[in-house]
Structure 1
């Protein structure tokens, strides 16, 4: 059952969503900004990640330690995250402390001080993370796949950034990004818990109502068309397994084919009963791990299938992944198999709306992407309405020209690259 959600637009442009849920004495708030790493310049890759790391390390009148003490003294939680399509500040606390913690969140959001010492500390941690990722074959395989597919599009860039870009970021860069993008008409506040719509609106108005927009006009993202030129990219590493990955260009969330592709990703690679797991791991013993994913994106997304396998199995693993994806458009998908995928995705979707934090996240995310809060019901209907014909048509349109990314021992991956087409 979908809870009742009230949507209000404040005078300064903030969109407020409130879901009253009195079953637990908890209130969660998700404060979204419609700006993520897609707004970074290429020479500033990693800017939003660094900003998210430093945002809670000091604000007007409060040090990093004082912020932490205020949050921990009431047993609340407060965190910041950044993605390609949005920026997020999350809070959760008992109802009686919500006003205090939301006011703190507003100070952090509106008047961060970005202390130089904290910037340098978080920069060092980020650089360590970037270096560490180079030791993980899956991350290397996915990074090189993303770079090859997206070319000059911002989705090509690593969320963490790169050593040569992160090392050059300055406090002024953080301040300028904050000044441009952190503005009330770019904010969605989604609240769920033991609070009425009237109480929430009064509280948010008292805390955020005086926030006015003094920033320059926001840039409208308008990217060049991506040229689809499937390629094979390889990185040789002395690893215990090969990572075999296929990537297909697929549409963003506003596409009529979105639901069908979500179902196909679930059918192929979601769980122990998925097609890839049963056929390639259980029956053939090829996979240490095997899965598929199709993330929700505003702009063109990627439909990815991958496998971790023994080096000596690299060639047949690549062929096996190809075969299983090709079967989606070469043969008729069984009605029972499609229904099982529907049951799985809808069941997992319902389980993802159990807590106030999950509820606030979901509706705030939909509003931020421009889908609106009614997409909760629309998505479930879209999934239910997908037919076998729809699924096969989507597979035929999008899942025929893969990019190939391989990471592993040189001999193993080089022997596999000519399995399909030219290298």
Structure 2
């Protein structure tokens, strides 16, 4: 049901309309009548970092229950209504954001907007779906406890952010989930999902006047202001240390990382280019070339920048045979130090910039992707014209700048490393 993006006109920014409803709800709109579909994405800052200290998992639990009955519809009737109107509705929570996704045929927009409104304003949270969703999340957690990639990721965040909300699991734990009651979910929703907190992107067959009315209908009844608890800014801890979690498996899973850059840091774009060369470019990246192609140590290896609302990470990972774990980690650390000390070559920089510029359009090839980008740009406060400016910023990165930022990003090459498996030599 994804609608292809319309042919590019003079600029992305010229196609984006700021729509503000009578109740003050703002959305960014791209009208597109190529196909009769509408995609709406919204997000509110908060996420699992706003979970009560002793009840991790509230935000994620709420995201799983909001489409399980609302207003006059119990869970079964709610899903039947979505199906008969061909409406796609879902919610999600990560560490920083609680978000929602709606996709509908234009002729069904009134029904779709009403179902979204009911989810946000009149969720039932009936006992049967409440317990069913709770058990589903608990089953997922039990599965993750035996999944090396999940275990190593959890261990990394616990080591990087001790005594901080980021160190707790988004899904919660087997200890915290039974403590979460219906009132906890309603209290979280009332604090976080508010008119001043939501950022909305809409793409499709709807004009500004109709959207303004829909914004008031869906979001106008929300609280005026969010009441988020303060979350301290924090730098990742444990850099230079290694933590091994024994698990009887033939391969070891690794996560490695250290401090990154905030999304609005002036060096973000050069850092994006540097990371693409180091580990973000998949087949063209140094880590992939050295670890997989030349030595066959791992099937895949990667790195990426992970900016959080209250921190920032340079983060990477791989999986390799237990007996080759030490060798693989030593090679990864060597490549990171080399990039920090010498930076990229002119040829690497040129190829990375061409790829990042050429592939940027893939972020806008469906209506859902465009709506998601509109929300992300609002959350990061990058400006209405960012999509027009972004490729120029990439192209402007010089070799001198890339070398300077590589040193700033990667420092002395020391990493926080977590490993799950039976690694030899660590």
Write the mapping of 1:324-363 to structure 2, written as runs, cut at 5 A. Answer: 324-363=335-374
Cα distance change, pair 257–333 in 1 and its aligned pair in 2 (3 A): same
The answer to whether structure 1 residue 306 and structure 2 residue 317 are counterparts is yes
Q: Does the Cα contact within 8 Å between 1:84 and 1:155 map onto a contact in 2?
A: yes
Which of 194, 202, 211 is the equivalent residue of 1:200?
A: 211
- Give unpaired runs (5+ residues) of structure 1: 417-423
Structure 2 counterpart of 1:419? none
Q: Which range moves more in the overlay, 223-232 or 71-80?
A: 223-232
Correspondences of 1:75-86 after superposition (within 5 Å): 75-86=86-97
Equivalent residue for 1:113? Answer: 124
Q: Is the 8 A contact 2:49 2:231 kept in 1?
A: no
What whole-Å deviation, never above 9, does each CA across 1:110-156 have from its counterpart, x for those lacking one?
Answer: 11111122111111111111111121212211211111112223222
Is residue 248 of structure 2 the alignment partner of residue 238 of structure 1?
Answer: yes
Q: How much has 1:227 moved relative to structure 2? A: 6.4
User: What TM-score do you get using the length of structure 1 for normalisation?
Assistant: 0.91
Task: Map 1:44-123 onto structure 2 (within 5 A).
Answer: 44-123=55-134
Structure 1 residue 332 displacement after superposition: 4.0
Aligned-residue offset at 1:189? 2.5
**Structure 2 Cα separation of the partners of residues 224 and 332 of structure 1:** 29
User: After the TM superposition, which of the residue ranges 245-254 and 375-384 deviates more from structure 2?
Assistant: 375-384
The aligned length equals: 411
Paired position in structure 2 for 1:421 = none
Q: Which residue of 2 aligns with 1:255?
A: 265
Residue in structure 1 matching 2:43, options 22, 27, 32? 32
2:277 counterpart residue number = 267
CA distance in 2, matches of 1:307, 1:219: 36
Pairwise CA RMSD of aligned residues? 2.0
State how far apart, in whole Å, the 2-side matches of 1:167 and 1:82 are.
19
Work out which of the residue numbers 153, 162, 166 in structure 2 matches 1:155: 166
Moved more, 162-171 or 377-386: 377-386
Matched, 1:125 2:136: yes
Partner residue of 1:401?
A: 414
**Distance 1:225-1:206 versus aligned 2 partners, 3 A rule:** closer
8 Å CA contact 1:237, 1:409 repeated in 2: yes
TM value normalised by structure 2: 0.91
Once residues 68 and 229 of structure 1 are traced to their aligned partners in structure 2, the CA distance between those partners, rounded to angstroms, is: 46
- Note the C-alpha offset of 1:158: 1.4
Shift of 1:29: 0.8
Tell me by how many angstroms 1:41 deviates: 2.6
CA deviation after TM superposition for structure 1 residue 214, in Å: 6.5
CA distance in structure 2 between the partners assigned to 1:29 and 1:183 by the alignment: 17
1:420 is matched with none
Which residue does the alignment assign to 1:219?
A: 228
Q: What is the distance in 1 between the residues matched to 2:293 and 2:271?
A: 24
* Deviation for aligned residue 1:207: 4.3
Mapped to 2, the partners of 1:195 and 1:181 lie a distance apart of 28
Aligned residues of 2:46 and 2:96 also touching (Cα < 8 A): yes
State the alpha-carbon separation in 1 of the partners of residues 383 and 52 from structure 2: 28
Q: Distance in 2 between matches of 1:140 and 1:337?
A: 34
Is 1:171 aligned to 2:182, yes or no?
yes
Tell me which residue corresponds to 2:192: 181
2:5 aligns with none
Contact 2:57–2:169 (Cα < 8 Å) also in 1: yes
Give the gaps of 5 or more residues in structure 2: 1-7
CA pair 40-390 structure 1, distance change in 2 beyond 3 A: farther
The partner residue of 2:290 within 279, 282, 301 is 279
Q: Distance in 2 between matches of 1:78 and 1:224?
A: 33
Contact 1:34 1:187 in 2 (8 A): yes
Give 3-state SS (helix, strand or coil) of 1:289's partner. strand
